[in-house]
Chains A and B, each alone.
Chain A
Amino acid sequence: MDWRDQGIILSVRPHGETSAVVELFTREHGRHLGLVRGGRSRRQRPVLQPGNIVEAEWRARLSEHLGAYMVELSNAYAALALDDRIALAGLNTLTSLARLLPERDPHAALYEAGLVVLGHISDVEIWPGLLVRWELELLNELGFGLDLASCAATGESGDLAYVSPRTGRAVSRAAGEPYRAKLLALPAFLAREQATGPGLPDVLSGFALTGFFFEKHVFEPRNLVMPEARGRLIAALQAAGEA
């Protein structure tokens, strides 16, 4: 068994004195683990950082085996984010949340969206909004997608301003007004295409929305906790907004 694919490094665990078990989110093979021999060497350690993109070759005698990876660095996004606390928290959030995906199940669209987020990791004006969209796509891939196309009450597709916490469906401003205290805010950039990127309040509102459904459908039922990095990211974005 062998294949070649591109992947985002999600995690690296030491294995023995010299090797590492590396978890990749690959385009065609989904979240997939493999052993990198010499993965703890001085040469390989800069490559095997979460958030980096690698070209990987996986080999195993049987498909159900852990197998061994040969990896080559394609994009060093981790190094670009190291100095920037917000970017690093964003990168950690993406790699932590991607680990929720089932193993060896391809999610090509989510992978491509992840590449777009990481590709803009140096530009704080762009990537937080993209990360919110990526989280929505992740919820969708996990089977808990939100329906933001039309109002759950009226069927209209215009002026959507809320999301029902019970059904995950959008609600228009007029229909939702009497229940606004119980509804979640739907930021404008998720309701319709915008010519400009979302502002910080909309991004934070987007994270609150996806965070609610992650907790409700993914973390609480599995008795898991939200990655700390996500909390740090939101706190850092809030602090940046106040400054």
Chain B
Amino acid sequence: MSRSVAGPEIEQLIQLLARLPGLGPRSARRAALHLIKRKDQLLSPLASAMQVAAQSIVVCGQCGNMDTSDPCTICRDPRRDASMICVVEEVGDLWALERAAVINARYHVLGGTLSPLDGRGPDDLNIASLTERAGSGGVTEILLALNATVEGQSTAHYLMDQLEGSGITISRLAHGVPVGGELDYLDEGTLAAAIKARKTL
């Protein structure tokens, strides 16, 4: 049985930190020690920032994004192209696309993919509000930026069925060779997808 080296408050801090992605019990202990040593510069500001975030974070009623206001910053931005909706699985995917700054569209976060294995059906995803947005007028293109996995693409096909007949252009991300990817090192699946999606020059 391991002995506690600190009071229950610090032990609880370590246990909570250990639940974060990328951190195990040892690294959580190291992080906790780092925070404790820099109480004024790090621990207190971090605690108050987390407190403020926990109180103000809401899910955007329009797109399903997480922000501190509803509608979220992206939905409120008048410079965004309102005629295009980019559909993503999770908020992390939205952040990744925003980081790349390659698209000026509005988003729609599904909250996952259809997964019979996990008992996640269409009613568990943010699909009804997407069809509602698609039918509200002004939208001319929906980009399905879903993962190139069996679950992601099954969800994309389901959405295509749902949006069929709406008169909106439905597009999806290309699959194939990543930038900097060497053919030698690519898996057969990616190569097959790249060959299937080849372009005439």
Contacts and interface: CB of A to CB of B under 8 A. Distances in A.
Given A11-B117, A73-B188, A79-B188, A85 B157 contact: yes
A73 B189 contact: yes
Contacts of B97: none
A97 to B, nearest CB: 11
Interface string B141-153: 0000000111001
User: Top 6 closest A-B pairs, CB basis?
Assistant: A79-B189, A76-B189, A85-B157, A76-B188, A46-B187, A82-B153
A80 to B, nearest CB: 6
Interface of A: 11, 13, 17, 43, 45-47, 49-52, 73, 75-76, 78-83, 85, 88-89, 91-92, 96, 227-229, 232
A17 B150 contact: no
Interface stretch (B51-59, B73-81, B86-94, B190-198): B190-198
Given A11-B117, A17-B21, A91 B187 contact: no
Interface string B14-26: 0000000110000
A206 B175 CA distance: 34
Interface in B145-201: 148-150, 153-154, 157-158, 160-161, 175, 187-190, 192-193, 196-197
Interface of B is mostly: helix
A217 to B, nearest CB: 20
23 contacts: A11-B117, A13-B117, A46-B187, A46-B190, A47-B187, A49-B150, A49-B189, A75-B188, A76-B187, A78-B150, A79-B188, A79-B192, A80-B196, A82-B193, A83-B175, A83-B193, A83-B196, A85-B157, A85-B160, A88-B154, A88-B157, A92-B154, A228-B114
Interface of B: 21-22, 114, 116-117, 121, 148-150, 153-154, 157-158, 160-161, 175, 187-190, 192-193, 196-197
A80 B192 contact: yes
Given A75-B188, A229-B154, 16 more contacts: A11-B117, A17-B22, A43-B187, A46-B189, A47-B189, A51-B150, A73-B187, A78-B150, A79-B193, A82-B148, A82-B175, A83-B153, A83-B193, A85-B161, A92-B150, A228-B116
A155 to B, nearest CB: 42
B127 to A, nearest CB: 14
Most A-side CB within 10 Å, residue of B188, B193, B196 = B188
Nearest to A85: B157
Contact of A49 (B114, B149, B157, B160): B149
B156 to A, nearest CB: 9
B2 to A, nearest CB: 21
Nearest to B192: A79
Contacts of B158: 232
Nearest to B149: A49
Contacts of A80: 192, 196
A122 to B, nearest CB: 9
B175 to A, nearest CB: 7
Contact of A79 (B21, B117, B190): B190
Nearest to A48: B149
Q: Among A43, A49, A81, A82, which residue has the most Cβ atoms of chain B within 10 A?
A: A82
Nearest to B196: A83
A228 B160 CA distance: 16
